[in-house]
């Protein structure tokens, strides 16, 4: 939709900024204040009807009831669907940080894949840079607020707080001011009301504009270094993220830390992990520990040439399934195929393919169970040991498939063939089995 004529320059700029967001449905993070009210109005103004809705996050603070009422009033004024989500931020040394994490998590859950539009502006970006500088942040923190990360977009970062408030008043939007923003016991508010104004009084130029420009330069360099560091390092493997050890231990330490931070951001977006988490992952990478605990229940664990970052959970183990010949069975992430063979000759071999002397009926695919053993000719071996020797990740072993023939394990899929099931040319019944990972 085109930007309407007759608006003030600031209102027009807000509409143009929102119009640049990629097509698709939008969820407005509606706080009840002026900034989010303006971004909600601009979204309704320039986006197709029925593609905008609002979500308000109630933190349970003293001012929360009034902010929720205002957010609902703004949504009603703009005729868009409204939902309020209640969260309880964790306690800790940084109530602001805990509230932010709880808010973003709630928005991610409520959005269900839609683009989430935030009302952050240039003053917010400058305050973030100063706050991060005071806590000793590196280039990523000093890059300020990113215009876009994952589903979150912030189209108003080039506008000032005063401009947006003027637009909200111009449009008679029913916003309210959050009284907690005046509480200078919070570091962010002290920076807003004392530090930045004091610096501005002694600075030749617009301090916010200068800080934001510096942050933008750093953001571009930071993004480039992230791409260089992460190239060929991380890959997804089901619910885990795998980091290749070889490039991590050969690249400069500063790039290795960046690669790990980027992987941690993918694991638990939108945050790249603390310095403690980065150090823990690198300790596993360098062989100083086989496994380290991370935040939110995740662990970093050595898996052959990789470090796996995942959240331990009991795998979903399927029920035993009969395997017809010919036939196929999908067992978790494994596809097991069975075909009759016309010859006992070993035409080819691979870890995921074998030819066995088996009856064509009575085959069952099931998960390896504690205590399972596979025949090795001179005795038997625990299936758990065979999986360990084959470097099957610990997280995958409880759901790893075996093929059973008449109550005996014939094949630990892709790992070990039972001696009694190996092909002998004097036998006349052969079955080819193949495993594919989905």
CATH code of 231-310, in short, is 3.30.465.60
Evaluate if residue 425 carries a pLDDT over 70: no
Instruction: State residue 150's pLDDT score.
Output: 87
User: Is the separation of the CB atoms in 59 and 176 below 8 Å?
Assistant: no
Least confident of 110-114, 145-149, 340-344: 340-344
pLDDT of residue 26: 97
The torsion defined by the Cα of 221, 222, 224 and 229, in degrees rounded to 10, comes to 140
Q: Where are the domains of the chain?
A: 9-218, 231-310, 321-437
Indicate if the pLDDT at residue 348 is higher than 70.
no
Is the bond preceding residue 270 a cis peptide, omega within 30 degrees?
yes
The pLDDT, as a whole number, for residue 328 is 92
Q: Model confidence at 349, in pLDDT bands (50, 70, 90)?
A: low
Mean pLDDT of 67-76: 97
Strands of 271-326, DSSP E = 291-293, 299-303, 306-310, 321-323
Q: Is 40 exposed, middle or buried (0-12, 13-18, 19+ CB in 10 A)?
A: buried
Distance CA(55)–CA(40), nearest Å, equals: 11
Percent of the chain topping pLDDT 90: 62
End-to-end CA distance of the chain: 43
Question: What's the confidence (pLDDT) of residue 351?
Answer: 73
Average pLDDT score over the chain: 89
The predicted-structure confidence for 267-312, as pLDDT tens digits, reads as follows: 887 677 788 999 999 999 999 999 999 988 899 999 989 999 998 8
Strand pairing report for 52-58 and 82-86: parallel
Sign of the alpha-carbon torsion through 113, 114, 115, 116: negative
**Is the confidence at residue 347, as pLDDT, over 60?**
no
User: Nearest 5 degrees, angle CA 204-CA 209-CA 213?
Assistant: 115
| Domains 9-218 and 231-310 agree in fold | no
Instruction: Return d(Cα 158, Cα 179) in angstroms, integer.
Output: 25
Residue 183 vs residue 50, higher pLDDT: 50
The percent of residues in the chain predicted with pLDDT above 70, rounded, is: 94
Q: What are the Cα distances from residue 223, in Å, to 64, 139, 153, 205, 258?
A: 36, 10, 16, 28, 10
Q: What confidence tier does 3 reach under pLDDT thresholds 50, 70, 90?
A: confident
Beta strands in 219-320 (DSSP E): 234-237, 240-244, 291-293, 299-303, 306-310
Work out the pLDDT band at 100, boundaries 50, 70, 90. confident
Dihedrals phi, psi of 430, to nearest 5 degrees: -130, 145
- pLDDT, tens digit, for every residue of 39-59? 999 999 999 999 999 999 998
Residue 438, pLDDT > 80, answer: no
Q: What pLDDT is stored for residue 394 in this prediction? A: 87
* CATH 1.20.140.10 describes domain 9-218: no
In the chain, count of helices (H) and strands (E)?
14, 22
Mean pLDDT throughout 154-169? Answer: 96
**Residues 281, 295: Cα–Cα separation, whole Å:** 12
E strands, 59-122, in order: 82-86, 115-117
b/e sequence 105-137, b meaning 16+ C-beta within 10 Å: bbbbebbeebbbbbbbbbbbbbbbbbbbeeeee
Say which residue, 2 or 102, is predicted with more confidence.
102
Angle between helices 122-134 and 207-230 (to 10 degrees): 70
User: What band does 227 get if pLDDT is binned at 50, 70 and 90?
Assistant: confident
């Amino acid at each position: 939709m085109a930007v309407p004529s007759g608006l003030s320059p600031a209102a027009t700029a807000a509409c143009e900024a929102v119009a640049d967001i990629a097509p698709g449905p939008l969820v407005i993070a509606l706080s009840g204040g002026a900034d989010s009210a303006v971004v909600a109005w601009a979204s309704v103004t320039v986006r197709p009807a029925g593609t905008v809705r609002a979500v308000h996050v109630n933190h349970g603070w003293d001012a929360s009831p009034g902010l929720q009422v205002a957010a609902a009033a703004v949504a009603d004024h703009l005729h868009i669907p409204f939902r309020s989500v209640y969260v309880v931020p964790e306690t800790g040394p940084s109530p602001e940080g805990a509230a932010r994490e709880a808010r973003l998590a709630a928005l991610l859950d409520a959005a269900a894949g839609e683009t989430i539009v935030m009302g952050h502006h240039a003053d917010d970006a400058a305050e973030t840079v100063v706050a991060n500088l005071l806590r000793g942040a590196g280039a990523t923190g000093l890059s300020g607020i990113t215009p876009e990360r994952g589903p979150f977009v912030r189209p108003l970062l080039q506008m000032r707080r005063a401009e947006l408030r003027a637009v909200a008043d111009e449009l008679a939007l029913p916003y309210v001011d959050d009284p907690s923003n005046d509480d200078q016991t919070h570091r962010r508010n002290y920076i807003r009301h004392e530090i930045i104004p004091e610096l501005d009084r002694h600075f030749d130029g617009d301090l916010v504009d200068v800080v934001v420009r510096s942050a933008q330069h750093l953001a571009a360099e930071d993004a480039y270094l992230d791409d260089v560091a992460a190239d060929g390092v991380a890959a997804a493997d089901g619910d885990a993220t795998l980091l290749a050890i070889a490039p991590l231990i050969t690249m400069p330490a500063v790039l290795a830390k960046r690669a790990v931070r980027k992987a941690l951001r993918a694991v638990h977006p939108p945050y790249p992990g603390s310095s403690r988490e980065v150090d823990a992952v690198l300790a596993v990478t360098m062989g100083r520990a086989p496994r380290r605990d991370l935040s939110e229940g995740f662990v970093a664990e050595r898996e052959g040439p990789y470090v796996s970052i995942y959240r331990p959970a009991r795998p979903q183990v399927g029920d035993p399934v009969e395997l017809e010949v010919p036939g196929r069975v999908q067992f978790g992430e494994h596809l097991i195929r069975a075909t009759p063979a016309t010859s006992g000759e070993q035409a080819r071999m691979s870890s995921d393919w074998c030819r066995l002397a088996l009856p064509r009926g009575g085959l069952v695919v099931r998960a390896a169970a504690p205590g399972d053993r596979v025949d090795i000719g001179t005795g038997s071996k625990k299936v758990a040991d065979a999986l360990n020797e084959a470097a099957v990740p610990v997280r995958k072993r409880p759901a790893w498939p075996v093929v059973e023939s008449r109550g005996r394990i014939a094949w630990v899929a892709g790992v070990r063939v039972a001696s009694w099931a190996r092909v002998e040319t004097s036998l006349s019944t052969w079955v080819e089995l193949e495993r594919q990972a989905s």
